[in-house]
Amino acid sequence: MTVALSGKEIAGQIEEKLPESITESGQDYLVVKPDSLLAVATFLKDTPGLDFNYLNFVTAIDYYDHFEVVYQLTSLEHNHSLVVKTRCYDRENPALPSVVSLWQGADFQEREIYDLMGIRFEGHPNMKRIFLWEGFQGHPLRKDYW
Amino acid sequence: MALKTEPFVLNMGPVHPSTHGVFRMRATLDGEVVVDIEPVFGYLHRGVEKLAEQRTYTGIIPLTDRLDYISSMNNNHAYVLAVEKLAGIKVPERAEYLRVIMAELQRIAAFLIAVGSFLNDCGAFFTPFLYMFRERERIIDLFEMVSGQRLTYNYMRVGGVSQDIPREFLPALRKFLAQMPRFIDEYDRLLMQNEILLARAKGVGILTKEQAINCSASGPVLRASGVKWDIRQADPYSVYDRFDFDIPTGTVGDCYDRYRQRVEEMRQSLRIIKQAMEQLPQGPVKSDVSHLVRPPIGEAYARIEAPKGELGFYLVSDNSIAPYRCHIRPPSLINLTALRDMVRGWKVADVIIIFGSIDITVGEIDR
Amino acid sequence: MEVGGIRKYIYSDTELDQEEGQIIEELKANSQQIIPDPDEWLDEELEQNIFLTTVDAVINWGRRSSLWTAICFPACCAFEFIAANGPRFDLARFGMEILRASPRQADLMITAGTLTWKMAPNVSRIYNQMAEPKWVIAMGACAISGGIFASASYAVVPGYNHIIPVDVYVPGCPPRPEALIYGIQMLQKKIAKRRNIDIGKLIRK
């Protein structure tokens, strides 16, 4: 069985190495500040014992006043998983750092989030629309599109 | 005297006989050798995630059928597992066993198409493909007995399955299980040592273990590269922990390994169906859940081992009859991240084979 | 030969994408009305004036018994079409076994799947490349009216008849292969009534 690691203990481990990077942590998830996302992700990937080398998915949710981007990470050897979230409070030009340099599997998924939600990912090699055509106005999956 | 040459961009357009649907690739060629490839998607983007926010939880089930349209039962399965995890609904035993039987039968049907179209791309124009279709018709007959439909079944419901199997189903299934291994062996005998297949597929498009894990590949693509990761055994859902089956893995990670991987997994699926059929209990097939199910506020992610890879549904609910957000983790799209690494240095004809061995369905990529 | 950074020559990627986007937006703006079905043969007075000569009968028989299909397979209905071609519901017995990719050699387009605005210019181009006489069968609910996805109209064309004229509509989601064969037989009846040679014009000349 894949063990879903508790957000609170991982938060404790991260706070020792990288202070001031966790906003909140619950039983199932962990919320990270956008600026320290890359540092936390590198820590999660490289620390022996955690070894999160497989990214399950990246997705974004539109809660009317902020966007929340969710990452699920898994470790194939230890068979445990963790959910990491970030929040982005800017509605006009939301931007977040990209994790493509760590896990290449995030490539198309981040483009999809840009296309459908409008969140730009800095550091992505090819940030352009993926499903809709160039010149399409708006971002359909936002709650205020229709 | 050095020859001045330029790279050339070749467009393998959305309407193409071998691209398995409306899928477009822009390949940069240096002579005949591919240097870079850029896939272009979106020609079948139907907005399923946006539609899902406007339909009830039960009303999304027909939409999920049409995602990966050659394995509808698996899509339904993943979705209802997500809703049940969100709402904390318990499913009766008979329904779980029926779900496993349907999911494994659907896996065999989907692999038949995958293997058939891979061989079609390799050059065996349509003969193995139509042979596999003959077997698929038998499976579709079984599904038609149960749900009335040939392609998009809409069979599973939140809390169980929609109806019980008719009397003729189990004898027909037994007959199918008795005949099917013979057909898989027949295809193996015809194709496994075929020198054209070996020349075209062995050593072509190698995906190493580290690349596969980094690109978040899943399913047969990951296992053919040597990683023993199958969600049915690593993170069992439904009643998969009660069955005994092996997980074949590949060694090299080339196209031939992916082809062999699918054939071996078909054999393992037959084993699972046999065990499930023997252990099938009596009882109700659906727990008493209303069609307008209202899960409490929260979120859940449930995943299954679909024929293409790890299919997952991430649902966020706000205690109304429609989900607040429904995200689908598409295995075909994420497996395609590996395409660029696999294709560098091969020729145009090999691109078609490598792409065919990943086995995508455009309905799932574009949703 | 040196490649250096991968440079796409003549047109850069962004230019190609922007041009494609413009084509799509123009097509979307021009295709809000339904193109009427080519059904003049159903017109009452015309029916009484049709004299089909033997030459016409032979030509129509040849055309309807060897329809060659152009490939246009976006989505799920494609698998029912392939099953119709398969060994169980054999389409080859109607003369339709050729499924080449070239639209120049085809006279029938079976549109099997949902049409999106991004794909629409390509379908229109394939239709224009087919030589006359040509026919279109709209297969499935998505091809007739957008089907189950019609409410996501930011991306889905509500029916192929916004882009190309359709002759036969086959309902179903997906339609069974028998339903598709029935639709093809209806098309064959329609082709049988076609007037190819206008005797009146020949005589008056």
CB pairs under 8 A between A and B: 75
Parent domain of A77: 3-93
Cα–Cα distance, C66 to C57 (Å, whole number):
14
Separation in Å, CA B311 to CA B168, B308, B329, C151: 31, 8, 6, 25
Number of domains present in the structure of chain B: 1
Complex ipTM value: 0.91
Q: Do A131 and B41 touch (CB under 8 A)?
A: yes
**What is the nearest CA distance from C24 to chain A, expressed in angstroms?**
8
Domain-located, residue B142: yes
Q: Do A133 and C155 touch (CB under 8 A)?
A: no
Residue B146 is inside which H or E element, if any? helix B127-147
Nearest to A135 among C22, C154, C155 (CB): C22
Q: Do B21 and C75 touch (CB under 8 A)?
A: yes
Task: List chain C residues with CB under 8 Å of A145.
Answer: 154
Q: Do A128 and C17 touch (CB under 8 A)?
A: yes
The CATH number covering residue A39 comes to 3.30.460.80
Number of domains present in the structure of chain A: 1
Nearest chain C residue to A145 by CA distance is C154
Q: Do B337 and A104 touch (CB under 8 A)?
A: yes
Parent domain of B174: 52-344+353-366
Nearest chain C residue to B9 by CA distance is C8
Domain-located, residue A80: yes
The CATH number covering residue B252 comes to 1.10.645.10
Nearest chain B residue to A140 by CA distance is B50
Evaluate if residue A58 carries a pLDDT over 80: yes
Domain-located, residue A103: no
Q: Which CATH architecture has domain C35-40+52-196?
A: 3-Layer(aba) Sandwich (3.40)
pLDDT attached to residue B17: 75
Cα–Cα distance, A142 to B274 (Å, whole number):
47
Nearest to B46 among C1, C72, C152 (CB): C152
The residue whose two tokens read 């029926």 is B98
CB pairs under 8 A between B and C: 118
pLDDT averaged over chain B? 88
Chains contacting B (3 or more CB pairs within 8 Å): A, C
Phi and psi angles of residue A78, each rounded to the nearest 5 degrees, phi first = -85, -10
Tally: H helices and E strands in chain A? 3, 8
Phi and psi angles of residue A11, each rounded to the nearest 5 degrees, phi first = -60, -40
Domain-located, residue A113: no
Cα–Cα distance, B18 to B12 (Å, whole number):
10
Interface-testing mutation among C12, C71, C119, with chain B (most B C-beta atoms within 10 A):
C119
Contacts of A24 (CB under 8 A, 6+ apart): A31
Domain-located, residue B259: yes
Beta carbons within 10 angstroms of residue B53's beta carbon: 16
pLDDT in tens, B316-367: 998 888 899 999 999 999 999 888 888 888 988 888 889 888 888 888 888 8
The predicted model scores a pTM of: 0.90
Beta carbons within 10 angstroms of residue B86's beta carbon: 24
Cα–Cα distance, C15 to B207 (Å, whole number):
32
Domain-located, residue B19: no
Domain-located, residue B37: no
Interface-testing mutation among A31, A56, A79, A126, with chain B (most B C-beta atoms within 10 A):
A56
Domain-located, residue B8: no
pLDDT in tens, B168-217: 999 999 999 999 999 888 888 888 888 888 888 888 888 888 888 888 88
Cα–Cα distance, A139 to A142 (Å, whole number):
6
Question: pLDDT tens, position by position, for chain C (205 residues)?
Answer: 334 445 555 666 777 778 888 888 888 887 777 887 777 655 544 454 556 677 778 888 888 888 888 878 888 888 888 888 888 888 888 888 777 768 888 889 988 888 888 888 888 888 999 888 889 999 999 888 888 888 877 888 888 888 889 989 999 888 999 999 999 998 888 888 777 666 566 666 5
pLDDT in tens, A3-46: 777 777 888 888 888 777 787 877 888 888 888 888 888 888 88
Q: Is the peptide bond before B128 cis (omega within 30 degrees of 0)?
A: no
pLDDT attached to residue B110: 92
Tokens of B81: 């597992």
Estimate the crossing angle of helix B127-147 against helix C77-85, to 10 degrees: 120
SS3 of B149, please?
A: coil
- Write down the domain spans for chain C: 35-40+52-196
Domain-located, residue B11: no
